[in-house]
Amino acid sequence: MDRLRKLSIMLGSELEILELEERIHTQVQEEVDRTQREFFLREQLRLIQQELAESDPLMAELAELKERIEQSAMPPDVREKALKELTRLQAIPPAAPEVGIIRTYLDWLLTLPWGAAQEEPVNLTQAAQVLDAHHYGLTKAKERVLEYLAVRQLAPGKMQSPILCFVGPPGTGKTSLGRSIAKALGRTFVRMSLGGVHDEAEIRGHRRTYVGAMPGRILKGMRNAGVVNPVFMLDEVDKLGFDFRGDPAAALLEVLDPEQNKAFLDHYLDVPYDLSQVFFITTANVLYTIPPALLDRMEIIEFPGYTEEEKLTIARRFLLPRQIEAHGLEAHPVRFSEQALRHIIREYTSEAGVRNLERSIATVCRKIARRIAEGRRAPHLVTVGNLAKFLGPPQYTFGTVEDEDEVGVATGVAVTEYGGDIMSVEVSIMEGKGNLLLTGQLGEVMQESAQAALTYARSHAEELGIEVEDFDKIDIHIHVPDGAIPKDGPSAGITIATALISALTGRRVARDVVMTGEITLRGRVLQIGGLKEKALAAHRAGLKTFIVPAKNKKDLVDVPSHVRRQLRFVFVHRMDEVLPVALRDTHPSPPSAKDDHTRQRRVRTPRTRPSVPDTRPSLSPE
């Protein structure tokens, strides 16, 4: 009985296992039968629909995709990849989440332009007329575009599309000229702003493994253009940033290289795309923020600030008609006298471009439009006399920087993001302990220029007529106004030296003289940059004489002819050539009571020349 009992328990356990295996086998067989039955039924339904000339919407869509892929102008390797993805799509159940990803990918491949190119006009005269009709001046940029058209006409298909970089202050017409170039070439215009872009994926796209992955903005622009040879403007390329997500400027190296962009690889598409026929134009306000490798790939075309005469012409030909139309004043045309426009340019705007000039004209038009809408009498001619009623009191002072010649105050000129600008340097001498105080947010290079200027003045004290016997008993304060604005660069060297020598000798600096140049310890004047922008700023301020390093004489060809006629250029090699032009008298004059705050105090002590302590800010180990 014990043996039978044990045997019964063992047989019961084996029976349960056999029953479980039978149940699992039965369920698997039923599922296989159901799947096979569904497959056979679907195949029968498909064949029946084909016989009846009817189609399933999904099957019809897949067939249409296959036909579009085969008829597109894709390269063979891209077409092969697209057909492979289509095969995967056909094998995946319709409810699978990957269906939407593959379908979106195929849509991108099909909507991108692969071979459609726009024909370019061969009439150079007509293209030149289009550029001149929309922009005044900007000769270099226009000539470069016409040269490109001429080469394309003589050797079609052999020349690579240029990659231009328009550099200049805001409001000088860089972006709008890109639109005009596209119109002159007969091409589609695409603009992409790079200001504030920090993510490399904005250029190259995301890989398809990420949720919500999309191509980069380059390929998005190409899809919007619909052609393989648009004019593609990358605006504000100098405002790119980088962080942990990558460096967009590094991603642009492939886009803006004619040798590499023939096979541009976007992370999303993962197939090469040809960008070699695209006419790339980039814009920037400054060049020093652009990485050297990226800058080397572009052809730089500088956009200097406009002169007063150019602004006057632009206002008459472009700004006034546009604002009159925008404010609905066609039935009540408003005219501006030439003196009123000059008054706005000189005393209501201070810029290298014409953006604020257009805003001022728009302000006048708005106030006239309101008067007309209210039924009041509105003037048809804007003159200097009634200009203050519309714009208020003048905001800027036109003319020389100083009202009279002063001791210890010299006028220099600098280049900023907004073009050239006038800069005053003030020096004051007082009793002290031999300190040199520098204020006005001066950078390290500018502080070193002040140190070099002081060293030159001390080493040539006897020649310059400086009567200070002991520099340890005076303090020298050098200040550059507009202290909230950081300033740096070596080009203010001779300006600081002139103001310093003026304060030490009591000689007055000519108020109508402006100067620029780097100074060395031996008094040599070295070459500087941005001569055209600085000359325009000096001319705009009404100055008469411009002291320039002799090595910059070759850059005078870039200065407009009427500025060269109205501005006297003095080219110097050494500091001793600057002082006879910048200082009024040749001998120290007795200081007046008015100049007590700038004159030095002469101390009769034994003649010694101890070194001036270094007052530059120390650098931390970091």
Query: Does residue 341 share a domain with residue 271?
Result: no
Single-letter amino acid code for the residue at 145: V
Q: How far apart are CA 468 and CA 466, in angstroms?
A: 6
User: In the numeric block, which tokens belong to residue 22?
Assistant: 């039978």
Q: Place 56 in a pLDDT band, splitting at 50, 70 and 90.
A: low
Share of the chain above pLDDT 70, in %: 90
| CATH number of the domain to which 527 belongs | 3.30.230.10
Question: Are 543 and 487 in contact, with CB atoms under 8 Å apart?
Answer: no
Handedness of CA 388, 394, 399, 404 (dihedral sign): positive
Show the CA angle centred on residue 247, arms to residues 245 and 251, nearest 5°.
115
What proportion of the chain, given as a percentage, has pLDDT over 90?
25
Residue 208 lies in a domain: yes
At 326, which CATH number?
1.10.8.60
Read off the DSSP letter of residue 403.
Answer: S
Residue 410 CA to residue 291 CA, distance in Å, equals 36
Residues 544, 433 share a domain: yes
Pick from 345, 270, 575, 590: nearest CA to 453: 575
Q: What pLDDT digit, counting tens, does each position of 218-244 carry? A: 999 999 988 888 999 999 998 887 777
Q: Which residues pair with 301 in a beta bridge?
A: 166
Is residue 524 in a domain? yes
Helix (H, G, I), strand (E, B) or coil at 574: strand
Query: Phi/psi at 127 (nearest 5 deg)?
Result: -65, -40
pLDDT at res. 51: 66
Q: What are the tens digits of pLDDT across the range 541-586? A: 888 899 999 999 998 988 888 888 889 999 999 999 999 999 987 5
- Is residue 143 located within the same domain as residue 289? yes
Do 283 and 243 share a structural domain?
yes
Question: Are 312 and 287 contained in the same domain?
Answer: no
Residue 117 lies inside a defined structural domain of this protein:
no
Spatial separation of the C-alpha atoms in residues 415 and 46, rounded to whole Å: 75
> Confidence band (pLDDT; 50, 70, 90) for 447?
very high
Q: Are residues 45 and 104 in the same domain?
A: yes
Q: Are residues 161 and 227 in the same domain?
A: yes
CATH code (residue 170): 3.40.50.300
Q: Would you state the pLDDT for residue 596?
A: 41
325, 218: one domain: no
Residues 166 and 249 in one domain: yes
Catalytic residue set: 491, 534
- Give the E-state strand segments of 140-180 in sequence order: 163-167
On whether both 289 and 211 belong to a single domain, the answer is yes
Query: Given this model, what pLDDT does residue 375 score?
Result: 86
Contact (Cβ atoms closer than 8 angstroms) between residue 355 and residue 171: yes
In a domain, 422, yes or no: yes
| Per-residue pLDDT reduced to its tens digit, 422-440 | 889 999 999 888 899 999 8
Query: Of 111, 137, 163, which residue sits at a domain end?
Result: 111
Tokens of 446: 């500018």
Same domain (yes/no): 429, 535: yes
Question: Has residue 7 got a pLDDT over 60?
Answer: yes
**Which pLDDT belongs to residue 191?**
92
User: Does 601 reside within a domain?
Assistant: no
- In which domain, by residue range, is 241 found? 124-302
Structure pTM? 0.70
- Strands 409-416 vs 419-431: parallel, antiparallel or unpaired: antiparallel
Structural domain contains residue 454:
yes
Q: How much is the mean pLDDT over the chain?
A: 83
612: in domain: no
**What's the domain count of the chain?**
4
Residues 527 and 428 in one domain: yes
Over residues 150-190, the pLDDT tens digits come to 887 787 767 778 888 998 888 888 888 888 888 888 889 99
The last residue of a domain, from among 50, 85, 111? 111
105-154 tens-digit pLDDT: 888 888 888 887 777 666 788 888 888 888 887 888 888 888 888 887 78
Q: Determine, yes or no, domain membership for 568.
A: yes
Closest CA to 442 of 406, 396, 402, 477: 477
